[in-house]
Structure 1
């Protein structure tokens, strides 16, 4: 069976397009996540969810944006406070505990959250109690 030159070009074009899609799509996702992090609107939404103690809404928004909290945590500030500090200040214990469990201990340590809770004598709060076991030696 002779497929001919037009069929060979079609198959070659299809293979090239498929290969390009598999290579470029994964490369584009981190760029999209980074642009969401830099968006003041998204940061404002996250801060309002923390202030209002809406854990489910935060989880849904993260899923909709296809980003992980641990990837964006260090870039978001609410009134010059980290999300955990902002949760403590607003008595948003459910979402603060969720964040304390979701973000890596290294990121939390770099942000200074555990040190801040200790200095403010807030380790006995629900958020402090969720965070403390991650920093026990």
Structure 2
């Protein structure tokens, strides 16, 4: 019994040491959103659609709710996917995000200006933007 209590106390004190210092709520949400954006960018760069979907599900958020706020090297997630030849995840994003958000951030125009509408991601956007 003494051994289990000692183990529990060691685990509890380790958890307390690893907890961040007390920050204002706005700073904590900023740090959390920065970390989330970095994770999303890494998943897009590495073309990990399933991991992105799992992360979204674990966080209980929809991609369409955060899409316009995330930037990877000053590019939207779709632009970043195109630049990294991550066609699977880019196609998923192009299908998942609301068309108004894609229009607002300028993804379709960006792809059209660069003659990228014949890529797998561009084809999805072109179909979605047809009248």
Structure 1 residues not aligned, in runs of 5+: 1-34
| CA offset digits 1:3-24 (Å, max 9, x no partner) | xxxxxxxxxxxxxxxxxxxxxx
For 1:48 and 1:40, locate their aligned partners in 2 and report how far apart those are by CA, in whole Å: 12
Which of 1 and 2 has greater Rg? 1
Matches within 5 A, 1:1-137: 35=29, 39-137=33-131
* Superposition RMSD in Å: 1.4
For 1:64 and 1:42, locate their aligned partners in 2 and report how far apart those are by CA, in whole Å: 12
SS in 2 for 1:39: helix
Q: Scaled by the length of structure 1, what TM-score is found? A: 0.73
Q: Scaled by the length of structure 2, what TM-score is found? A: 0.76
For 2:118 and 2:31, locate their aligned partners in 1 and report how far apart those are by CA, in whole Å: 31
How many residues align? The count is 103
| CA offset digits 1:82-130 (Å, max 9, x no partner) | 0000000000000000000000100000010000000000000010011
Structure 2 residues not aligned, in runs of 5+: 1-28
For 1:61 and 1:136, locate their aligned partners in 2 and report how far apart those are by CA, in whole Å: 31
